[in-house]
């Protein structure tokens, strides 16, 4: 796993590395001696201790056995698995195909009371129509060379989106105006998507803000797409991976950015005007 761009993920990996280094030192072993007992090159020990190589479960078992600390195995394996979950490459997340990826969010969505979603280019998943999400997932499947199960994935995405009609949740969506004009599918697909946006945006539990493209003197630049689930998790979408931010100080920065972006958005009639303008330009 490459070094993560998220300090939450890197901090978790470094914590595992520090515990392993401490075990080695408490056992009175040098880097080379531990490597000899584990049956690998000493450079691997150094990479693990410097959080440049993530140890797998077998590495941890061998390490703890070499340090005569077998009771540490379970906790360290669990901690390492958690660190790995903070930075998830899309190729790993989609091994079981796109449908399972869509379904994997079910419990998290049910447990979340307040959803905050910011998107600069693509309309939020919970507001997407079947045609729109089909065009989106088809492109993702081709780009990442994922087995094509797009129809099943679309059904799973739409089933997940029904949560916006369930009581007990609030949805705060922020979308850059550019996302209204970014075409996924043909004009008919986009017209249906923009019409659905008008309908969903009028729901009492939904707040839909559009940030106009001509906003002057922006105090905060457009950001990568991110989802904040209450105040406990922020999920950031990158080209190659999903970064899950769990460190409170980082979550606080994303929530601060979201509130500042909210101040730039227009709502109600003004937002509907921008959506209708985009629909009128489909030709």
Look up the pTM and report it: 0.68
Contact criterion met (CB below 8 Å) for 63 and 34: yes
pLDDT given at position 90: 44
pLDDT given at position 9: 65
For 214-258, what is each residue's pLDDT tens digit?
998 888 888 889 999 998 888 887 776 677 777 777 888 999 999
pLDDT given at position 2: 39
Mean pLDDT, the chain, whole residue set: 85
Q: How far apart are CA 15 and CA 133, in angstroms?
A: 39
For 178-226, what is each residue's pLDDT tens digit?
999 999 989 999 999 999 999 999 999 999 999 999 998 888 888 889 9
Q: Is the pLDDT reported for residue 137 higher than 50?
A: yes
As given in the structure block, the two tokens for residue 268 are: 């109600």
Domains of the chain: 7-85 (1.10.260.40), 90-280 (3.30.870)
For 99-115, what is each residue's pLDDT tens digit?
555 445 567 788 899 99
Helices vs strands, H then E, count in the chain: 14, 7
Q: How far apart are CA 43 and CA 268, in angstroms?
A: 60
CA distances to 32, 131, 256, 272 from 195, in Å: 65, 13, 31, 10
Q: How far apart are CA 246 and CA 7, in angstroms?
A: 10
For 12-66, what is each residue's pLDDT tens digit?
788 889 999 999 999 999 999 999 999 999 999 999 999 888 888 888 899 999 9
Which single residue is written with the structure tokens 């839909």? 208
């Amino acid at each position: 796993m490459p070094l993560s761009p998220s300090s939450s993920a890197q901090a978790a990996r470094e914590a595992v590395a520090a515990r392993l280094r401490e075990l080695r030192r408490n056992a009175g072993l040098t880097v080379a001696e531990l490597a000899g007992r584990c049956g690998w090159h000493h450079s691997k020990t150094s990479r693990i201790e410097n959080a440049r190589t993530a140890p797998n479960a077998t590495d941890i078992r061998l390490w703890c056995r070499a340090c005569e600390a077998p009771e540490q195995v379970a906790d360290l394996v669990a901690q390492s698995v958690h660190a790995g979950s903070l930075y998830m490459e899309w190729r790993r997340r989609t091994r079981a195909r796109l449908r399972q990826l869509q379904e994997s969010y079910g419990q998290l969505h049910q447990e979340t009371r307040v959803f905050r979603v910011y998107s600069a280019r693509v309309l939020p998943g919970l507001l997407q129509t079947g045609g729109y999400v089909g065009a989106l997932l088809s492109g993702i499947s081709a780009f990442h060379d994922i087995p094509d199960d797009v129809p099943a994935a679309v059904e799973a995405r739409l089933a997940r989106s029904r949560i916006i009609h369930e009581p007990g949740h609030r949805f705060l969506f922020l979308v850059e105006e550019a996302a209204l004009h970014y075409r996924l599918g043909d004009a008919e697909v986009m017209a249906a998507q923009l019409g659905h946006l008008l309908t969903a945006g009028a729901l009492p539990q939904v707040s839909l803000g559009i940030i106009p493209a001509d906003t002057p003197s922006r105090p905060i630049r457009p950001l990568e797409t991110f989802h904040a689930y209450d105040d406990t998790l922020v999920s950031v979408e990158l080209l190659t991976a999903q970064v899950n931010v769990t460190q409170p100080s980082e979550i606080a920065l994303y929530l601060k950015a979201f509130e500042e972006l909210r101040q730039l958005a227009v709502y109600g009639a003004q937002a509907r005007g921008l959506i209708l303008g985009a629909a009128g330009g489909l030709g």
